Chain A
Amino acid sequence: DGGITQSPKYLFRKEGQNVTLSCEQNLNHDAMYWYRQDPGQGLRLIYYSQIVNDFQKGDIAEGYSVSREKKESFPLTVTSAQKNPTAFYLCASSIDPAGSFGETQYFGPGTRLLVL
């Protein structure tokens, strides 16, 4: 079955600690994204990657870092510089982000990050 997996489902971060959220897809999609969802707000784009070894900052990239060494993997690191990390993090992928009609994005189940 093709899809996107995210792990872990819940993650706890101590103050000053970096944590990494995993995102893997087997849909053979070129583009991958990371979003953050806070209560009462829409999904906000953190980082996106259109192709392997390339990624771009989204609207709220400060305090986060990513890598795209493999097509199927796009891990997100929440660094200690992110002062308000508690949120629901969603990873998504699409065939091609630069298509004319806004390619449909497929989402993973999400990771909820909580600060201890």
Chain B
Amino acid sequence: DAGITQSPRHKVTETGTPVTLRCHQTENHRYMYWYRQDPGHGLRLIHYSYGVKDTDKGEVSDGYSVSRSKTEDFLLTLESATSSQTSVYFCAISESTTSDTQYFGPGTRLTVL
């Protein structure tokens, strides 16, 4: 597996609380992505980053924000968690414009009560 870690791996929180998920890579890859996975929907893109401080929205970005202050870290924040954000969150990385191949982290299972 590519050098990607996610933390925490599991989290249970309450509606209305802020939550931050972390993705850390040791591959020095330029692109990083956050997806959420829900039954029947496959994986859907939340946000992605194409460099330090460079981010863009995906198809399901409402309620989420991201930050990337270092090449190796990409943070996903739920400002005020809702039950609809209960999901498994995957981070992915890809090397550069010459390679589209994406490698996934182990995932974070988030439950919002």
Do A and B form a real pair?
no
Give me the interface of A with B, judged by CB distance under 8 Å: none
Give me the interface of B with A, judged by CB distance under 8 Å: none
